[in-house]
Amino acid sequence: MEKMPFRPELDTHMETLHTDVTTVISTDWRTGLPVLSGKQVALRELRQSDAAPLFAMLTSEEVARFISPPPSTVEGFERFIAWTLRQRTAGTYVCYAVTLQGFDTAIGIFQVRETEPGLVTAEWGFAIGSPFWGTGVFQESAELMLEFTFETMGVHRLEARAAVLNGRGNGALLKIGAVQEGILRKSFLRNGRYLDQVLYAIVEDDWRASREAAAETTHAKVH
């Protein structure tokens, strides 16, 4: 999602929500996000203490170049985090913090927002601090997020947009099985220029088929 749905200028809530919950186990993601655990990464709900590390990770030129401008201060990130928790409670949006297994520091985020009522269709977006690019953190996090989105949130079609000029963003989407569906001409205003974007989608049936194929390959290698 190149365009982050958070609009600081429209957010009138002055207080920030202080959550120091480390692990929320819940059958309903609207009341608290379950931890998604992989080999290399653990994805968890955002908390206020993530504001400073996320400010450090996500405001560099190379990370922010092709996405909506992230909040420009630590306080701005605190307001963003409080907003994400309210949207999650409303059931229209989730934002996960990416952490490395065994470390609690947030190094990136994955967002999913409803684009059709009932979460039939949703759009996702992600940003990871550049020291962790090319390390496998993105791929494992994305696989965990896809499972959560299709299995737990019940999304049927997950869209993404990447500026045509965003080489890494396009490469990242292609390698996790997103299909290019078209070009949205001059659809994204960044630094005073209207940029073309590629529209991608992963549909639930394709995701299930590719997961089954991967499981069969693993099974065949073991036996």
Ligand X SMILES: CC(C)(COP(=O)(O)OP(=O)(O)OC[C@H]1O[C@@H](n2cnc3c(N)ncnc32)[C@H](O)[C@@H]1OP(=O)(O)O)[C@@H](O)C(=O)NCCC(=O)NCCS
Min separation Cβ 64 and ligand X, Å = 7
Judged by the rule CB under 6 A, the positions of this chain that interact with ligand X are 63, 66-67, 125-128, 133-134, 138-139, 160, 162, 166-172, 175
Min separation Cβ 28 and ligand X, Å = 28
* 19 or 142: CB nearest ligand X: 142
* 16 or 139: CB nearest ligand X: 139
* CA-closest candidate to residue 63, choices 105, 117, 2: 2
With b for 16 or more beta-carbon neighbours within 10 A and e for fewer, the 25-55 pattern comes to eeeebeebbbebeeeebbbbbbbbbbbebbb
Min separation Cβ 169 and ligand X, Å = 3
* 17 or 199: CB nearest ligand X: 199
* 105 or 139: CB nearest ligand X: 139
Min separation Cβ 67 and ligand X, Å = 5
Parallel, antiparallel, or unpaired for β 157-163 and 121-128? parallel
The span from the CA of 29 to the CA of 148, in Å, is: 10
The span from the CA of 144 to the CA of 162, in Å, is: 20
